[in-house]
Structure 1
Amino acid sequence: MKASRLAKNLEICSFKIQRIKEISEAINDNLETNKLLDLFKVFLNEKLEIGQFVFYSCANKEWELLSDFGIKGTPDLKDFKFYNTFKDIQIGDYQIPGVTTTFEVLIPVFHHKKLLSLLFLADPEEKIGISPIIKHLNFIQSLTNLVSVAIVNKRLHIEEIEKERLNRELELAAEMQSSLIPEGNFSNKYLKLNAYYQPHNLIGGDYYDYFIDESRVVFCMADVSGKGISAAIFMSNFQAKLHSLLKNTDLRLAELVEILHSEIDQVSKGDRFITLFIAEYNFDTHLLEYVNAGHNPPMCLHDNEILLLERGTTGLGMVEKLPKVRVGSQVVRKNDVIICYTDGITETQSENGDWFGEERLMDILKKRGNCGAPIKINSEIINQTKSFQGKMADHDDFALLTICFN
């Protein structure tokens, strides 16, 4: 009798080891999730004779029905807060909305204190004798743990692959955007120019540019509403249109801005807008003409006085019909300096919650403006904002364009 019972126990142990081995091999072979669940269902129903069960798993903070068998109705369990209180196997009466079955056993699966899955179990009503659930309970728990963790790992692996793909796409987009932005240094006998751009993420929606021929320089600073890939794409389209207009037409600044506004309004349908400062400096007349379309007003150090270049119109794409474009003008003298920037600089926050602000930027211009080297002025601005920021993370794109006139 004892020998017979021992042989039976050994047979059961061998059976359980074989099932664990099969599941482990399926996981190692990277079996698809639906096939792994089919295997799990076969083990529960056909091998262990579990008559009724429902298996739920958590995916991205939402609960997903993975598998069920032998029940009447459609499980619709959405509120799992109640089950977070259980840390081990529960015996009782459990109901699932949409199902008439009363489940006697609940197996919660936790990993690092996080609830991963729930397995509800019930014997069929006509079952007589020892419940296979009770008989194999610890084994079912081990099997459920193994399958639950495998499914989560598969999901994380897929998410990691997707994340790597998106990161690579971002890197390629950043390379493309970088190739569209002109070199950060330029000088001739009329001026010296230095520019700096640091997107908040790999790519951003800030933009500087300059165009030079034998008689003039046109330079601009722009900021598109929003951040990320969509903002960068929108800004690239804007840049392409601006380049085309400057290369193929002789439009005055007001006309140029009006056409750009019409293009933006047609493309964005009011969902996005661009703030823009654009200026043209004539090498022969020393006249600077500009339009400020809702952008942070550039600062011009002129005769030791700081002027704000504010004249213009509203941001492009903000309204359907652009208000009258007013063109500002300023005769530029030797040693004058202009700083164009985006709000990522003035809105840099300290650990105390203070803004860097325009006053600090003006102080830098007053103290360093007469050095005649735009790269030194920009370096001072960057260093001071980083020092002011302390341990606070960047919250926005960061763009500077500084010109010293000879």
Structure 2
Amino acid sequence: MDRSEGFGERLLGWLLDQAHQMPPEHIGPLVAGALRALGGREVSILLQDYGQRTLVPLTGSGLATGDPVPIDGSLAGTVFVSATPAEHPQADGTRMFLPLLDGGDEVGVLAVTLDSVDDDDRRLLRRLAALVADILVTKNGYTDRFFRARRRESMSVAAEIQWSLLPPLSMNTPRVSVAGILEPAYNIAGDSLDYALNDDILHLAMIDAMGHGLNAAVLATVAVGAYRHARRAGVGLAELYAFMDAAIDEQFGPDQFVTAQMMRMDVGTGRLQWVNAGHPAPLLIRDHRVIEALESPGTLPVGFGGATPQISTRQLRQGDRVLFYTDGVVEEHQAGGEQFGEKRLLDTIERVGPTSGAVQQTVRSLSHTLMRERGGTTTDDASLFLVEWRGGAADSPTSPEPA
């Protein structure tokens, strides 16, 4: 079968043309049809569940179904966390696993079995997986189908609100990578985060709204909305805090508040600036060791009308990581026991870090390890967000070579 560049162009073009007006329930069968044109069979589209523990098969005509696949200890899971394709020889051919990547965000894994595999197959499958990821993300905006597939437990109304607010929980670019995780995934309420990469500046906010349940989710929603509004207006960190503070105070009065941290990083130089409004200090990690907590003069939580905040600054080195977390990570008590505490958090970071890889794998492993060490107990939201500055030359697209 012809798998040259010309064949691949026609196949990808067919898939793209068909997907434009195809309803979401037909995307899986459409992908399966494209892979059958390659001689593929047993096609699976595996999506990450909200707890970041399993890969869940998407159902549909032409798609292989089965039980969710654990991310830890499976080949599909290894492909997912490493974002690297893998091949598994079988008696009847080769099982191919390809990461579904959209802008650095890992959506899931595409799996297909072929009788034999050569470099043309590998190239075409890699490109097809990238296109499938883009299609899934686009179609996700106007269907519940993919959400339902990823949901492994019942979800509270507060958690539904929070998940609808969140940006993709991972992003990888040549100069900066970010990854986050929120626990308990199906009952999160007051914790939230937001980020945006605007040219050379990475903007980030980590938010912890007071209380629990629906009220905390509504409070966090206003805080995130105010943050985005001010950020998009191009104001500085001090003005951004003031705008968020006024929005919370006007909407909820003096009895409710949000702790928060707002950050700006120049991804070209590694210059980090942040404002702390009642939040735990972020941790600076270098070579898998926590070298210090980034303590800074703080101001009152958002909504309390604090003084103009002092902006703290730190110059990062290439490869440095900064971990932001909410207080639920360290304030949890086991039944009849002492508080989990920051020291145990630091010990866990330094134990997990060397065995992990990219930021998404690290933050996921760290969160699940912390959950186990807290005895599986999470009475408050416990969220992590990890940023790695890679530095290097400016990102720039390359032009294709002429035919």
What is the letter of the counterpart of residue 339 of structure 2?
A: W
Mapping of 1:50-199 within 5 angstroms? 171=156, 173-199=158-184
2:208 counterpart residue number: 223
2:267 counterpart residue number: 283
Q: How many angstroms apart in 1 are the aligned matches of 2:315 and 2:180?
A: 23
Deviation at 1:179? 1.8
Mapping of 1:252-263 within 5 angstroms? 252-263=236-247
Report % sequence identity: 26
Cα displacement string for residues 130-183 of structure 1 (whole angstroms, at most 9, x for unaligned residues): xxxxxxxxxxxxxxxxxxxxxxxxxxxxxxxxxxxxxxx974553342121111
Q: How many angstroms apart in 1 are the aligned matches of 2:372 and 2:159?
A: 26
Change (3 A) 1:325 1:293: same
2:301 counterpart residue number: 316
Query: Which of the pair is proportionally richer in helix?
Result: 1
What is the letter of the counterpart of residue 373 of structure 1?
A: A
Deviation at 1:399? 0.8
2:383 counterpart residue number: 399
| 2:355 equivalent to 1:344 | no
2:342 counterpart residue number: 358
1:56 counterpart residue number: none
Would you say the 8 A contact 2:177–2:387 is kept in 1? yes
TM-score under structure 2 normalisation?
0.54
The two structures, once aligned, show a CA RMSD in angstroms of 2.4
Change (3 A) 1:305 1:239: closer
Cα displacement string for residues 351-398 of structure 1 (whole angstroms, at most 9, x for unaligned residues): 45122211122123334446552223223322332222226x421112
Q: How many angstroms apart in 2 are the aligned matches of 1:386 and 1:223?
A: 19
Larger Rg: 1
Q: How many angstroms apart in 2 are the aligned matches of 1:405 and 1:364?
A: 21
| 2:388 equivalent to 1:373 | no
Would you say the 8 A contact 1:293–1:315 is kept in 2? yes
Q: 2:367 aligns with which of 382, 390, 398?
A: 382
Change (3 A) 1:229 1:300: same
Q: 2:276 aligns with which of 292, 297, 318?
A: 292
Would you say the 8 A contact 2:272–2:314 is kept in 1? yes
Q: How many angstroms apart in 2 are the aligned matches of 1:262 and 1:357?
A: 32
Mapping of 1:16-27 within 5 angstroms? none
SS in 1 for 2:260: strand
1:272 counterpart residue number: 256
Q: How many angstroms apart in 2 are the aligned matches of 1:368 and 1:387?
A: 13
Deviation at 1:212? 0.9
Q: How many angstroms apart in 2 are the aligned matches of 1:170 and 1:192?
A: 29
Would you say the 8 A contact 1:313–1:324 is kept in 2? no
Q: How many angstroms apart in 1 are the aligned matches of 2:335 and 2:188?
A: 25
Cα displacement string for residues 20-53 of structure 1 (whole angstroms, at most 9, x for unaligned residues): xxxxxxxxxxxxxxxxxxxxxxxxxxxxxxxxxx
What is the letter of the counterpart of residue 224 of structure 1?
A: A
Greater Cα shift, 335-344 or 373-382: 373-382
Q: How many angstroms apart in 1 are the aligned matches of 2:279 and 2:367?
A: 20
What are the ranges of 5 or more consecutive residues in structure 2 without an aligned counterpart? 1-153, 391-403
Q: How many angstroms apart in 1 are the aligned matches of 2:265 and 2:320?
A: 12
Change (3 A) 1:173 1:382: closer
Change (3 A) 1:376 1:241: same
What are the ranges of 5 or more consecutive residues in structure 1 without an aligned counterpart? 1-168
Q: How many angstroms apart in 2 are the aligned matches of 1:308 and 1:364?
A: 15
Deviation at 1:299? 0.4
Change (3 A) 1:222 1:402: same
What is the letter of the counterpart of residue 212 of structure 2?
A: K
Q: How many angstroms apart in 2 are the aligned matches of 1:178 and 1:336?
A: 28
1:147 counterpart residue number: none
